[in-house]
Amino acid sequence: MTIRQALLDWYDANQRDLPWRHTRDPYAIWVSEVMLQQTRVETVIPYWERFLARFPTPAALAAATEDEVLGLWSGLGYYRRARLLHRGVREVVARYGGEVPEDRDARLALPGVGKYTAGAIGSIAFDRAEPIVDGNVARVLSRVHRIETPLGVAQTEQRLWEEAAALAEGPRPGALNQALMELGATVCTPRAPRCEACPVRSACAGRDVAERLPVPRKKAAPKEVSVAAVVVRSGGRVWLARGQSALYGGLWSVPMCEHAPAQASLLERHEGLPADEAARSALAEVGIVARLGAVAGELEHVLTHRRMRVRVYRASHARAEAHESLRSVDPSELEEGEIGVSKLTRRILAIGVS
């Protein structure tokens, strides 16, 4: 039996019952694949179901405002995904009448659609022999073919996509691709892989060294960042500003500004703002005049590439004029999914509003 057939037979018998596996709708599959990037399946399921209930078609999503999209995405993280999905779907509506194009080049030209997402839509929705390589697939193929060059280098990436393309050729390419992902997620795991349960163990060249494959790419240590955040209350409401940074662009947050860390050298402190001055600067940058109060608390928030130490201030007696990038909200509105805020903002508000 070929590796390909063994994977398909195993998948038919062992696949998890996930909601997006009950549809061939390319739009619904597109949404699932974007949400699943760097996010656990268990986390994605309720978000995907709510998102499709609210925006069941490309036309519905294209007609939504960015606030509505980010509000429903709030808490899922990696918000750039949501903004690119929104842009991509709007292009589908404008250029293709709301139908996700079957042509691969047309899909690759959409904002936010790379080789992986294009391949997932093409193979699963359109039954086209298009490969995919994500973290799970890379791990399976690195072990099966004993690829001992590091992930991320051109030689490794080319080999992985070539092997994935070879497997995609043939009947049921969508099921084959999902079998590779499922095997990596449930059997060929990063640690303690269950090789005895693997349907392709007899053909796996790396089964004796599985735990050291794939060879990881070098990662930079997370950057340490110190931030002053200000919770500005006014008559039971809280002032939020729309962020424009790459990190939280498009989301609403309390005013924030980096400051010199407490453990910095005298030179570093001179070059960076002290925490209180950073808090005042955060208010000034968004156009709020307020009385800065005491520190309400501190928290640590870890992202992929940075470790944020956040000092939370309270401020009162606010004077500000609401506009498209500055608004006051009742904290209860944040629980209704209408306003896009990050987990960090929710954590800050939990300290500053209590």
Per DSSP, what are the bridge partners of residue 242?
Answer: 252
| pTM of the shown model | 0.75
For residue 281, pLDDT over 60 is answered with yes
Per DSSP, what are the bridge partners of residue 326?
Answer: 241, 323
Q: What is the mean pLDDT of residues 246-257?
A: 75
Q: Domain 3-212 adopts which CATH fold? A: Endonuclease III; domain 1 (1.10.340)
For residue 127, pLDDT over 80 is answered with yes
Residue 130 is among the residues annotated as catalytic for this protein:
no
248 compared with 148, residue with greater pLDDT: 148
| Alpha-carbon gap, residue 228 to 298, rounded angstroms | 9
Specify the pLDDT at position 218.
80
The residue among 105, 115, 91 whose CA lies nearest residue 27 is 91
Domain pair 3-212 / 223-352, same fold = no
For the chain, domain boundaries:
3-212, 223-352
Candidate list 33, 91, 130, 163, residue with the active-site label: 33
| Alpha-carbon gap, residue 350 to 346, rounded angstroms | 6
The residue among 69, 324, 352, 343 whose CA lies nearest residue 237 is 352
Q: Which helix (H) or strand (E) holds 315?
A: strand 306-319
Q: Which CATH architecture has domain 223-352?
A: Alpha-Beta Complex (3.90)
Specify the pLDDT at position 336.
61
For residue 137, pLDDT over 50 is answered with yes
Angle at 257 between CA 253 and CA 259, to 5 degrees: 145
Specify the pLDDT at position 80.
85
